[in-house]
Structure 1
Amino acid sequence: MGLEPFSFFLFLATLALVAATSRGTYLEIPHQIHLLRPKSGARTNDFPDLSCLSWRLAVETNNIIGWKTTPEKCEGYLGHYMLGQQYREDSEAVAYEAIVYAQSLELAGDGREIWIFDIDETSLSNLPYYAKHGFGVEPFNSTLFNEWVNKGEAPSLPESLKLYKKLLSLGIKIVFLTGRPEDQRSVTENNLKNVGFYTWENLILKGSSYSGETAVVYKSSERKRLEKKGYRIIGNIGDQWSDLLGTNAGNRTFKLPDPMYYIS
C-alpha cells in the first residue's frame, strides 16, 4: 500500500476506531499489535540508558518530569501499550483498588462526601485521536485536539466508568475537575452523558481567571473552594500527577496510567 509499518498500523487502527461504537462502551482494538512490539524495549534518544519500558515506569512514578514529548523511538512501544491489553489491565488495577478503598469507608451519608474525577484520559479516553495523530512524539497540537474534543465523540475509559457507578451506588457524589476551558462545557457535558456518566454534583472547567497558572495551582484552588463549601473529598482520581499533587487533594488519590503527555 506504500505505507510505512507504523503508518499502516495507524491506518488500520483508525478504521477500527471509526467502526467501533462509543456509547457507554470502550473501543475494541486488536491486542496483538506485533508491528509495535519491541523485542526488549528500544533505547530512547533523550534517555539513551533507559529502555522504553523503564522510561514509562519513570514517567508514571513522577521521576521524569517536565518533559514535552515522548522519545521518538518509543512511539511504537507506547502505541502497543496504549492500544493493547496491558493499558486496560493497569487501569483495571487502579480502579479495583479505588473500589476496595471506597467500600471500606464508613460514610456519613450526608451528601457532602465527594470523589473528584479528572476527565481526559481518566473519564473520557482520547485514544481515537492519538491513534490517528501519534503517541506524543510530536509537540501537542491544541488546534487539532480541540477539534477532536468539540466532536464530543470520546469513549469512556470503562474502568473509570465502573468506579463511577460503584461510587454512586455507595452514595458518594461525583465532581469532575478538568483543565478543559469553559467554552467546552456543553460538548463535555453531552459527551460524558452519552457514554454513561449521566449525573454529577459539579463539573468544573478552567476559567480565564486561571490563565497562565499550572494545573497544580488551578486544581488545588478549586478543591479548596469545594472544601470551603462543606464538601469532604474522600477520593481523587486522575491520569496526571498534577491532578493529585498540591493542596486539598483528598483523603486518598489514585493515579491512572498515561505515558503520552505531561501536564505540570
Structure 2
Amino acid sequence: MAKSQPLFSLLLFIFISGTISQSIIQLSRDHDVYCNSWRFSVETNDVGYWDQVPSRCVSYVQDYMTGDGYRSDSEVAASYALGFAKTVEIAGDGKDAWVFDVDETLLSNLPYYAVHGFGYNLLPNSFSDSTREEVVIMISFRTIAELTDRIDCSAPFKLSESFDELSFDEWVDLAEAPAIKASLNLYKELKQLGFTVFMLTGRSEHQRNATAKNLQLEGYSDWERLILRESSDQGKPATLYKSQRRLELVNEGYRIHGNSGDQWSDLYGFAVSERSFKLPNPLYYIP
C-alpha cells in the first residue's frame, strides 16, 4: 500500500492540474465573451458614460486594438463612408463638406495607451471584491499556470487607469501619433472626389501647431480648416461644442454630407451630417 502512495499522489496532481487548467481556459473564454459584448455595447452607446475599461477586459482591449479586429473594423467603416461619398453629386462650388474628428479618427494615440498599459496600471492595494476574487483565483493557479503556460506569471496584475489629461497633452505636443491608414486612404479619396474637408477636434487651440504638424507628417494635407476648442469652448460637453461649430459651417453655406468620428459626441447633436460614420474606440468615452 505504501508503494502505491507516490503513484496516487501523481495521479491526483495530474487530475487537479488538468481541472485547474480547464478552469483557467474557461475563465479566459468567459472573459472574452463578456468583453466582446461590452465592446459592442460601447460602440452602440448602450453603456452610456464610462471612464475606464473594466479590469477583466484590459487584455481583451489590448488584443483587439493591436490585432486584426480593430484594423478590419476601421477599414469597413471607411469603405462604407467612401461608398456613400461616391453617391454625392459634387456641385463644384466648394461647399460640399466632410467633417473629420482627429484623435482615434485620423490619428491613432495607440502608442500613448500602450505605454500606459491600454488604460491600466499596477494593481493598487484597494480594489473591488469582484477584482479581488479574480486576482485570488489567478494567484491560486500560479503554480499550475506556470506548468501549463496559460498565462504570463511574470507580468504584474493590472487594472484600468482613468484618463490623465496632463500626460496626454505632453504626448500631443510630441506630434508623433501615427495615421489610421483606413482614414488616411478615405481622406485622400474624398479630396479627389472634390469634398471640402474640415477637421473638428476637441483639442485646445494652444495645441494647433503640434496637431497640424502631426497631421502633415502623417500625410494629411490641403484641409479647409482645423477647428480646435477656443477659451470660450472650455467646459462645454463635446456634443454641444461640435454641434455649434458644425452650425457655423452650415451658416457659411456648407453642405455637410459626411462626418467621421470615434465618439458619439462627434456625431450627435444638431447641424448633423447627412450620413455619420462611427469608428471603433473601446479605449475611452467623451460625452
- Normalised TM-score (structure 2): 0.75
Displacement of 1:165: 0.3
Corresponding residue for 2:31? 42
Within the candidate set 176, 179, 193, 2:202 is matched to 179
Displacement of 1:171: 0.5
Corresponding residue for 1:86? 69
Within the candidate set 159, 163, 166, 2:189 is matched to 166
Structure 1 stretches of 4+ with a deviation exceeding 4 A read none
Give me the whole-angstrom Cα distance separating, in 2, the residues matched to 1:148 and 1:184.
Answer: 11
Please list the CA deviations of residues 118-170 of structure 1 after superposition, one character each: whole Å capped at 9, or x if unmatched.
00000000000011102232010111111111000000000000100000000
Please list the CA deviations of residues 202-234 of structure 1 after superposition, one character each: whole Å capped at 9, or x if unmatched.
100011101211000000000000110111101
Indicate if the aligned counterparts of 1:220 and 1:249 stay in contact, CA closer than 8 A. yes
Corresponding residue for 2:220? 197
Give me the whole-angstrom Cα distance separating, in 1, the residues matched to 2:46 and 2:254.
Answer: 32
Aligned residue runs from structure 1 range 113-262, under 5 A:
113-136=96-119, 137-262=160-285
How many residues are treated as equivalent by the alignment? Answer: 221
Pair 1:90–1:41, CA change in 2 (3 A): farther
Counterpart of 1:224 in structure 2: which amino acid? L
Counterpart of 2:205 in structure 1: which amino acid? E
Displacement of 1:62: 0.4
Give me the whole-angstrom Cα distance separating, in 1, the residues matched to 2:174 and 2:85.
Answer: 34
Corresponding residue for 2:88? 105
Corresponding residue for 2:150? none
Give me the whole-angstrom Cα distance separating, in 1, the residues matched to 2:169 and 2:234.
Answer: 17
Give me the whole-angstrom Cα distance separating, in 2, the residues matched to 1:202 and 1:41.
Answer: 46
Indicate if the aligned counterparts of 1:193 and 1:199 stay in contact, CA closer than 8 A. no
Counterpart of 1:160 in structure 2: which amino acid? S
| Identity across matched positions, percent | 50
Corresponding residue for 2:56? 73
Within the candidate set 47, 52, 64, 2:47 is matched to 64
Q: CA RMSD in A?
A: 1.2
Please list the CA deviations of residues 8-56 of structure 1 after superposition, one character each: whole Å capped at 9, or x if unmatched.
xxxxxxxxxxxxxxxxxxxxxxxxxxxxxx842517xxxxxx7011000
Higher-RCO chain (CA-CA 8 Å, sequence separation at least 6): 2
Give me the whole-angstrom Cα distance separating, in 2, the residues matched to 1:184 and 1:212.
Answer: 17
Give me the whole-angstrom Cα distance separating, in 2, the residues matched to 1:211 and 1:152.
Answer: 22
Counterpart of 1:109 in structure 2: which amino acid? G
Give me the whole-angstrom Cα distance separating, in 2, the residues matched to 1:152 and 1:170.
Answer: 28
Give the SS at the match of 2:31. Answer: coil
Q: Name whichever structure is richer in helix by fraction.
A: 2
Indicate if the aligned counterparts of 1:41 and 1:53 stay in contact, CA closer than 8 A. no
Give me the whole-angstrom Cα distance separating, in 2, the residues matched to 1:41 and 1:192.
Answer: 40
Give me the whole-angstrom Cα distance separating, in 2, the residues matched to 1:222 and 1:63.
Answer: 26
Indicate if the aligned counterparts of 1:41 and 1:77 stay in contact, CA closer than 8 A. no
Displacement of 1:251: 0.6
Give me the whole-angstrom Cα distance separating, in 1, the residues matched to 2:34 and 2:65.
Answer: 17
